[in-house]
Structure 1
Amino acid sequence: MSRSSSLTLRNYVDSKAPVLAWAVVTLIALSLLALIISLQRNLDLRIDSQTAKIEELAQLPRGEYLKPALLGYHHLGADGLWLRLLQVLGKKKNTADEYEWLYHALDVVTTLDPQYAYAYYVGGVVLNNYANRVDLSNRLLEKGHRENPDEWNLPFLLGHNHYFVLGDAQKGADYISTAARTSGAPDFLPGLATRMHAETGNPEVALEFLEALWRENPDLVVREKLETRAKEVIIERDLRTLERAIEQYRTQHGMVPNTLADLVSTGYLSHIPEEPFGGSYDLNTKTGQVTSSTHPTRLKVFRRDLEGGI
């Protein structure tokens, strides 16, 4: 073969190299897809197809490895896996291992498509309420919150998990506050966050939170509601101040003061705070309890484990 012919052939091969490389990669991807379909068909032939579908999830490679193999079609891959997950989520009482596999599949779906906010939400609910795996629920929700900071319902669920399930009222309140500051959050969230902070003994934090919300909301109706809520928090703060002074008085004198004014005359308080709604603070001399004449019910999150709670 002449030198010119050899160069021509080499140039031809070089020009076709990208096409050949793409063809090889495409062939590999199609082979992987065919393998998945084959596995699915074999599993569906098993007697317990529901269990088979869940076991299939355990065979999924990690999302970090699967994503590049999908050649840019990772969103489509996430949709396909999500549809498969919907066939098994909450369909039966699963074993501990099966819930681990479900979590793995949810992690793969949300790695392929990190903005799949609905998958985080549903997965978080299922893992907590069906599997009793608040650890896996929180892990998935925290991942979703990092990837989707504009979704209010993810920190809302985290707040619920920490407050109601883990008993960490402070952390729960922090997450609810985050959710309340997110665009699109429902109107009830600021009030809920405020009550949670007040219950954990942080009315000052609640007031700061309300002030920040007030500054960020130019709507007059919203600001009016926030001002009302702030007054309710001030009542809670004042009641706690009065209760501390009454307890100090009781410790030193062995009895409850006859009036709140006695706390001032004996030096336990510099003054009696004004009730922000124009009412008064009333002392029960038998019990030592103090109440507001306008808001006799204290700020407290309605807990399921308390009588009358939800």
Structure 2
Amino acid sequence: MKNPVPAKKKRLDVHGVLLLDKPAGISSNDALIRAKRIFNAKKAGHTGTLDPFATGLLPLCFGEATKFSQDLLDADKTYETVVHLGIRTTTGDTEGEIVERTDAVSFRTDEIEAVLSRFRGDIRQVPPMYSALKRDGKPLYEYARAGIELEREARAVTVHELTLLDYSAPCLALRVRCSKGTYIRALGEDIGQALGCGAHLKSLRRTRVGFLTLDSAVSLPALEEAGGKTAGGNPPSLEPVDYLLSSFPSLALNAVLAKRFLNGQRLSLAKENIGTAGMTGRCRVYAENGVFMGTAEIRPDGVLAPERLVALPDVFAS
């Protein structure tokens, strides 16, 4: 008699945001899969990838929180990186093969600062071949692994901060705060090229995404040790669904208006006597009992237009 096939573990409705400190050596998707398995969650997604060799802040969204992940994809990011001067690699980081070495990598600090000044503000950057950007449906890194190099157009990005933290030849320690779409590997290579010696990234750590910081992030080992549960049965360090929207203004609707809002109806602020205290643009919307219902836009014509709604427990419970 054959042994019965064990029943699959039922996935759970887990909703919220996890700030993960991603370790080196795994992809962002692998980190997401491991966290999703720990929580036994039905649905999860990340808010922008980190290279496998990189570490640091990787916000993960579960359940209804995935509806708001786009807001972090567009946010500024902050990194701390070590640029190894004098060595170029195929990937621009430690995972690639060495393609060029230069011995002359001793510079004065003022020479380095002069070069760094050229990469602050609005710049144009050519995306690296080892990236997830797609061409004809295939990511560029697949072409690169096959030995094919394609022409890439330079893209406009903004480097808000580029600070020299330390210089001990042949390595520069930098802090970078930049706009979405900025490749720190490409920035490191460009700095090396400007110095005339080539370079690659020795390490890369993301410390901030928008208003989120690494300070409250949890590691995968800590998450796995807890088994996805605390003594109270709740996922550890899981922030509420509206956590990514903390910087948005908020307003509350009474039961009648909340029902209309959840049905996707637009509401006239003046007609319904909804106090917004001069708010405009996107906002968080709650039921009068404090339950988060979704986001909306306060339009110039004074209309509250529902944007993304959440499907969570009864918003009318007292």
Structure with more of its chain in helix, by fraction? 1
Q: TM-score, normalised by structure 2?
A: 0.24
Structure with more of its chain in strand, by fraction? 2
Q: Rg bigger for which structure?
A: 1
Query: Comparing both chains, which one has the higher relative contact order based on Cα–Cα distances under 8 Å and sequence gaps of 6 or more?
Result: 2
Q: TM-score, normalised by structure 1?
A: 0.24
